[in-house]
Copies of this chain bind each other. A is one copy, B any other.
Amino acid sequence: MAVTPLYKLFADQLAASIRDGVLRPGERIASVRIASQQHKVSVTTVVRAYELLESRGIIESHPQSGYFVREQAQPAEKPAPRTARQDNPAWQQSTEVDVSRLVLATLKTIQQDGTVPLGSPYPNPALFPSQRVAQYAGKITRNASQSSVFDDLPPGHPDLLRQIARRYLENGLKVDPEEIVITVGATEAINLCLQAVAKPGDTIAVETPTFYAMLHAIERLGMRALEIPTDPERGIDVGALEEMMKTQPVAACMVMPNFQNPLGFQMPDAEKERLVRLAERHEMPVIENAVYGELYYGNAHPSSLKNYDREGLVLHCSSFSKSLTSAYRIGWAMPGRYRAQVEKLKFLNTLATPTVPQRAIAEYLTQGGFERHLRRVRRAFAQQRDLMRHFVLRFFPEGTRVSEPQGGYVLWVELPSAVDAMELYRRCLALGITVAPGRIFAATNRYGHFIRLNYSYPWSREIEQALKLVGKLVEELAS
């Protein structure tokens, strides 16, 4: 258990060579590929070692030329994308939302066969135990009794409710199955929760950048979005939110505290608690999107806002689409004190969630293996994050900054400010590569030179070549 990982050993050796003067300041060190061949270690090991040395300020990467020993060994500035700042009065204003058309159009391009799905919002489906879930579904269909068709009325199938509650317990949150309402994916859960707590014309506080599904929910219900500055490492600025609440009524707040899409941060526990306490002081409901919660890279499941919720103001939404199977679109809400309203709205919105998928997932969770599957996925994503960060910084021109996700599978990339990411998106598409343009992550016209990249697919020559091409296009657009 306490074995030092290979990449650390390798990094330590390299650090020793530098200390010993074998490698001099300013000198270029072996490329990842060559080092991997020379030392007979995997590309991943080399990349992680280089990342570690970079983070220690021992080496530095020069875009498109490789790694170099630093002139003076000092802590490196982290190349994180810059935060939106509360630097002008426009921040104080809520806005109407109309981003769905653009999002739908870009998502559809991801569907096209043969594209390299760097712009995809979905995790690589090959990672999912779909076969096992499908086998359970088949068995359930064969043995279905006549009454079983009725089990899918809200709140949902009792076995699934129980299994979800059990899973929360394993992750340190005590949940009564009765608190849960099954939905068609987290999308429906978020929609129902928002409708339960606010009405058309109301102002909803959101992170910026924010996952577009949050903006969709606001758009669908004719509400207004108030974008709150959000730190790429600490999440929504609770102080800024509190300030803004003094100037205008805020009906609710929607956040993704763990591994936010697109930033990838994990809000510190203290910030989570601070947000919930603020909500309590103002009786403001908080909708928590927790779909990436299971995809942490750390040692344990991060806490949810729900862990700090004493008054039922947190409406927690999640799904299995990012952790087990997206084919069935099974999600849920734990709406706290708004449970009755959410259950009723679920009934009105889609009547019922299909039975067989609910029971198949419940059976999978009962039989076990979910945690083992997740451990494998988490390890893969953590490695692929390192590779994606490494190669973006290598292939993209100077001025590029990348996030450092703590979970999930997307990277947020700030390009040189001259780059029009929508134009980049279109040029990439012409080459059979998708990227998600930053524009879709805001209600207002922000993030014009940002993109989001998906790293849920195993690293391959195809992905590396695609990324290199994207880097070239970025360079063209930057000049």
Which residue of chain B has the shortest Cβ distance to A215 in the bound complex? B348
| Interchain CA distance A137-B111 in the complex, whole Å | 21
Q: Does A352 contact B (CB under 8 A)?
A: yes
Which residue of chain B has the shortest Cβ distance to A147 in the bound complex? B113
Answer whether A149 and B131 are a contact pair too, CB < 8 Å, given A184-B350, A327-B144, A350-B188.
no
Query: Which residues of chain B are within 8 angstroms of A144 by Cβ–Cβ distance?
Result: 125, 130, 327
- With beta carbons under 8 angstroms apart, the residue of B107, B137, B154, B188 that contacts A134 is B137
Interface segment, one of A37-45, A216-224, A267-275, A422-430 = A216-224
| Interchain CA distance A377-B148 in the complex, whole Å | 20
Q: Are B150 and A219 in contact (CB under 8 A)?
A: no
- A216 CB to closest chain B CB (Å) equals 5
A residues 87-143 near B (Cβ < 8 Å) are: 100-101, 103-104, 107-108, 110-111, 113, 120, 122, 124-126, 130-131, 134-135, 137-138, 141-142
Q: Does A308 contact B (CB under 8 A)?
A: no
Q: Does A465 contact B (CB under 8 A)?
A: no
Q: Does A302 contact B (CB under 8 A)?
A: no
- With beta carbons under 8 angstroms apart, the residue of B126, B147, B216, B348 that contacts A216 is B348
Contact with B along A177-192 (1 / 0, CB 8 A): 0000000110110010
Answer whether A349 and B220 are a contact pair too, CB < 8 Å, given A150-B111, A354-B354.
yes
- With beta carbons under 8 angstroms apart, the residue of B138, B146, B352 that contacts A329 is B352
Query: Which residues of chain B are within 8 angstroms of A345 by Cβ–Cβ distance?
Result: 220
| Interchain CA distance A440-B326 in the complex, whole Å | 36
Answer whether A100 and B344 are a contact pair too, CB < 8 Å, given A124-B146, A327-B149.
yes
Q: Are B146 and A350 in contact (CB under 8 A)?
A: no
Q: Are B149 and A104 in contact (CB under 8 A)?
A: no
Q: Does A355 contact B (CB under 8 A)?
A: yes
Answer whether A348 and B217 are a contact pair too, CB < 8 Å, given A107-B153, A154-B104.
yes
Q: Does A328 contact B (CB under 8 A)?
A: yes
Query: Which residues of chain B are within 8 angstroms of A149 by Cβ–Cβ distance?
Result: 122, 125, 326-327
Query: Which residues of chain B are within 8 angstroms of A103 by Cβ–Cβ distance?
Result: 347
| Interchain CA distance A302-B328 in the complex, whole Å | 34
Q: Are B131 and A146 in contact (CB under 8 A)?
A: no
Q: Report copies per complex.
A: 2
Q: Are A134 and B125 in contact (CB under 8 A)?
A: no
Query: Which residues of chain B are within 8 angstroms of A413 by Cβ–Cβ distance?
Result: none
Answer whether A111 and B347 are a contact pair too, CB < 8 Å, given A328-B354, A354-B354.
no
Q: Does A200 contact B (CB under 8 A)?
A: yes
Q: Does A30 contact B (CB under 8 A)?
A: no
| Interchain CA distance A360-B134 in the complex, whole Å | 13
| Interchain CA distance A219-B341 in the complex, whole Å | 13
Q: Does A357 contact B (CB under 8 A)?
A: yes
Query: Which residues of chain B are within 8 angstroms of A126 by Cβ–Cβ distance?
Result: 146
| Interchain CA distance A263-B128 in the complex, whole Å | 47
Q: Are B134 and A138 in contact (CB under 8 A)?
A: yes
Q: Does A151 contact B (CB under 8 A)?
A: yes
Contact with B along A345-378 (1 / 0, CB 8 A): 1011111111111000000000000000000000
Which residue of chain B has the shortest Cβ distance to A140 in the bound complex? B134
Answer whether A351 and B187 are a contact pair too, CB < 8 Å, given A108-B153, A111-B147, A220-B345.
yes
Q: Does A213 contact B (CB under 8 A)?
A: yes
Query: Which residues of chain B are within 8 angstroms of A151 by Cβ–Cβ distance?
Result: 111
8 pairs from A and B in contact (CB 8 Å cutoff): A103-B347, A107-B153, A122-B149, A141-B327, A187-B350, A191-B350, A217-B348, A220-B345
10 closest A-B pairs by CB: A134-B141, A220-B348, A187-B351, A111-B150, A184-B350, A138-B138, A216-B348, A125-B149, A329-B354, A188-B350
